[in-house]
Amino acid sequence: MSLAAIPATDTRTFFRPVGRELIALLRGLGAGQWQRPTVAGTWVVRDVVAHLVDLTFRRLSFHRDGLVPPPPPRPITSERDFVDFINWLNSEWVATSRRFSPQVLTDLFEQANADLADFFEALPLEAPALFGVSWAGEQTSEGWFDIGREFTELWHHQEQIRMAVNAPPLEDSRYLQAVLEISIRGLPHAYRGVPGVEADSVVVDVSGASGGAWTLLRQNGVWTIWAGAVANASARVHLSDQAAWRLLFNALPPAEAAKALRVDGRLDLASPLMSARSIVV
């Protein structure tokens, strides 16, 4: 298979149906289910929902309404500073939201998601991005990529909730396919410190209805990402679409990841994939 540039992924029309799926799920949860632990660190289900409310209101305020974000409490001079700031921002809202009932949180999300869907569906695909996608190493990004990053947040947090309450995953394979197409773009940044020689390659071969094949290629001293698979890769990693999203979104413990991935070829080039993440961590 020949390599090609990865095309833009348009997720603008996905926010409304995926949000409605989450709302229907939340309306049916019992009180105890809102307190179930999730794979999102120390957060329980209600905390993940609160985080989604926060993300959606922030996007509407900063992007649709043009509100200038308040400055961070400390200057950001490194990637670690940025991660610490985002974690502080998230935890501050989650702590405050524990004064809200599940019904209030659900109502807030329902209204916010509908407003966000209205905004994104009317936004041109080529519209400027609000923020650069930091986990891809970008200070500035194309607009569709910024929107797509927002969609991966909505999708993967919903899946965290579904896992916690033993609900089935979302059925439509297009949603996960879009999540993988977007999140795979973070691999060159994840590999930025991995040495290699010209034309070294790592094929990521994802099976399942939402799967595909992508190739990390060493070119001019840097790693680049392409759609498709080279025939004689330095390393080839096989995993399912379910394992792929869980790995990239911090939902697959190392022991499970080791079982979920099969590697052909050079382990030294495949192993950095185990620590690749398409979220701010």
DSSP 194-243: ----TT-EEEEEEESTT-EEEEEEEETTEEEEEES--TT-SEEEEEEHHH
Confidence of residue 62 (pLDDT cuts 50, 70, 90): very high
Question: Is 186-275 assigned to CATH 3.30.1050.10?
Answer: yes
263 against 281, higher pLDDT: 263
- For domain 12-171, the CATH architecture is Up-down Bundle (1.20)
Q: Given this model, what pLDDT does residue 281 score? A: 78
Enumerate residues 6+ apart whose C-beta is below 8 A from 239: 204, 205, 206, 207, 247, 260, 261, 262
CATH 1.20.120.450 maps onto the chain at 12-171
Q: Given this model, what pLDDT does residue 54 score? A: 97
Q: Given this model, what pLDDT does residue 39 score? A: 96
Confidence of residue 191 (pLDDT cuts 50, 70, 90): very high
Question: pLDDT tens across 199-233, in order?
Answer: 999 999 999 999 999 999 999 999 999 999 999 99
Confidence of residue 29 (pLDDT cuts 50, 70, 90): very high
pTM of the model: 0.95
- What is the rounded CA–CA span in Å between residue 262 and residue 280? 26
Average confidence (pLDDT) over 106-111: 98
- Residue 203's alpha-carbon distances to 18, 182, 217, 273, 274, in angstroms, are 30, 16, 9, 11, 14
Kindly calculate the radius of gyration of the chain based on its CA atoms and give it in whole angstroms: 19
Q: Which residues pair with 235 in a beta bridge?
A: 202, 265
Q: Given this model, what pLDDT does residue 79 score? A: 87
CATH 3.30.1050.10 maps onto the chain at 186-275
Question: pLDDT tens across 117-158, in order?
Answer: 999 999 999 999 999 999 999 999 999 999 999 999 999 999
Average confidence (pLDDT) over 157-185: 98
- What is the rounded CA–CA span in Å between residue 182 and residue 123? 19
Is the pLDDT at 55 greater than 70? The verdict is yes
Q: Two tokens at 252?
A: 């697959």
- What is the rounded CA–CA span in Å between residue 216 and residue 64? 35
Percent of the chain with pLDDT over 70: 100
8 A C-beta contact, residue 31 and residue 107: no
